[in-house]
């Protein structure tokens, strides 16, 4: 089956472990920080933030101006700072400091959409979920696994296209693949380990 071949080849090229399961609170806050922000910038801001406020209670009690200063590098930091404080307050007050492990409850948190919630389920709890970011959406369509217009549609279609055993691995694999080879513009097709399985390559000789 093509999808199994794609996943197996990518697993060989990108052994698991780069995005290991972590503390759910850190995953949640880092993913909110990452929205419209480069990964390296997110990582720096998250490290500074958690060094000062490492628990929901501590972040809930933090001064918004101080949070802003710590995350100033990320996009929309003035919007994100009070949002992070409110997320921490809700978790600390309503969930006894524990991040909820179900999609519906996570979606009730301010600023948390399906991608963020799925990242928490996958990387925070090690659950079977499909986290669709720009890499997963773009590459899934390029490969021909789905034909969709939005990340939300991609998640729904991938649930049918992918055996469940692949769900929690696809984000890590396609993120690494998208940074390394299958770039939005000028992908390195000559180095691609799945070029023979790529519908996009069969359909056109040029990616834009």
Among 85, 92, 133, 157, the active-site one is 133
Angle between helices 134-143 and 167-180 (to 10 degrees): 90
Residue 82, judged by CB atoms within 10 A of its CB (0-12, 13-18, 19+), counts as: middle
Q: Is 115 a residue of the active site?
A: yes
Q: How many CB atoms lie within 10 A of CB 165?
A: 10
Q: Are 122 and 129 spatial neighbours (Cβ–Cβ below 8 Å)? A: yes
Among 115, 149, 196, 205, the active-site one is 115
Half-sphere exposure of 55 (CA within 13 A, CB side): 9
Q: Is 63 a residue of the active site?
A: no
Distances (CA, A) of 71 to 77, 115, 148: 6, 21, 33
Binding site, residues? 182, 189, 192, 198
Angle between helices 167-180 and 151-161 (to 10 degrees): 120
Binding site for [4Fe-4S] cluster, residues? 182, 189, 192, 198
Non-local CB neighbours of 179 within 8 Å, separated by 6+ positions: 135
User: What DSSP character marks residue 145?
Assistant: S
Non-local CB neighbours of 170 within 8 Å, separated by 6+ positions: 7, 130, 136, 158, 162
Catalytic residue numbers, as ranges: 115, 133
């Amino acid at each position: 089956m093509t999808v199994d071949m794609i996943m197996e080849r990518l697993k060989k090229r990108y052994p698991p472990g780069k995005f290991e399961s972590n503390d759910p609170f850190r995953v949640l806050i880092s993913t909110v920080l990452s929205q419209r922000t480069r990964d390296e910038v997110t990582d720096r801001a998250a490290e500074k933030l958690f060094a000062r406020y490492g628990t929901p209670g501590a972040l809930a009690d933090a001064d918004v101006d101080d949070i802003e200063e710590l995350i100033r590098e990320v996009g929309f930091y003035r919007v994100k700072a009070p949002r992070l404080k409110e997320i921490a307050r809700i978790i600390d007050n309503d969930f006894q400091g524990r991040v909820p492990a179900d999609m519906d409850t996570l979606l009730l948190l301010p600023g948390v959409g399906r991608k963020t919630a799925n990242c928490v389920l996958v990387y925070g709890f090690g659950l079977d979920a499909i986290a669709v970011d720009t890499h997963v959406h773009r590459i899934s369509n390029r490969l021909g696994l789905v034909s969709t217009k939005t990340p939300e549609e991609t998640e729904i279609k991938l649930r049918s296209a992918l055996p469940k055993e692949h769900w929690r691995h696809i984000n890590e694999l396609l993120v690494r693949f998208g940074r390394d080879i299958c770039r939005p513009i000028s992908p390195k097709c000559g180095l691609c380990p799945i070029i023979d399985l790529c519908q996009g390559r069969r359909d056109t000789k040029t990616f834009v």
